[in-house]
Amino acid sequence: MANLLTRIKDTVMADLHEALDKKEKKNPIALLNQYLRECERETEKVRKLLERQNTLKEEFTREYEQAKELSGKRKRQAEIASQAGEEELYQFAAQEQLQYEERANRLESLLTQSIQQMGDLERKYEEMKHKLKDMHIRRMELMGRENITHANHQMEKVLENNSDKSFSRFREIESYLDRLDHQVKSSYHSSTIDARIAQLEKELEKKTV
């Protein structure tokens, strides 16, 4: 049974890795975005742990200060009871003072441990934030390169497929411009000749009159 479950697990993991490989080849930026979202979630988890650890530190601090204060209070009361000859009251105050002192010592140790753990979490959190920021910058860099690659590939594809058509179109336009220029020049010369002949006719008519 265990072997069967192991084989099923290995098969599922192999299929998963194959699917991830296909996804990476098809759209590497999309897979990178998925990884970044996972890193963001992990970073958020550490941030919440850091907040929780800070709350614990504050609670340890309050409990420690309270136990230390009560220990000092019972110590003074035990001294007063001893001076007054109140043995029973002295025993009670001394026992309470010992319990509060032990509690304060324990809380002091827990507080020190909590502060150390909080420092470790803070360093880890800051490191994760820096790494996440660097990953976002690298993603933008990769996206820029990918865009340029796609743009160059698309331009090469267009030029490769349409180079003959493009040059043919240029030749058609140049030919059209030549014909248009010829027509304009012909119309200009024609109108100029007509005007000149008309002027000559008028001059000849005046001479014959």
Domain boundaries defined on the chain: 2-162
Using the CB atoms, write b or e for 70-94: b if 16+ within 10 Å. bbeebbebbeebeeeeeeeebeebb
Tens-digit pLDDT string for the chain (209 aa): 455 455 554 554 455 445 545 544 566 777 788 888 888 888 898 889 899 999 999 999 999 999 999 999 999 999 998 898 899 998 999 999 999 999 999 999 999 999 998 898 899 889 988 988 888 888 888 878 777 877 777 766 666 655 555 556 667 777 777 777 777 777 766 667 777 777 777 777 777 75
Number of other CB atoms surrounding residue 131 within 10 Å: 12
Contact 97, 74 (CB under 8 A): yes
Note the pTM of the prediction, 2 decimals: 0.52
What is the fold of 2-162?
Answer: Helix Hairpins (1.10.287)
User: Encoding tokens for residue 35?
Assistant: 């990884």
User: Encoding tokens for residue 11?
Assistant: 């098969």
The beta-carbon contacts of 51-57 under 8 Å, at least 24 apart in sequence, are 53/114, 53/117, 53/118, 53/121, 54/118, 56/114, 57/111, 57/114, 57/115, 57/118
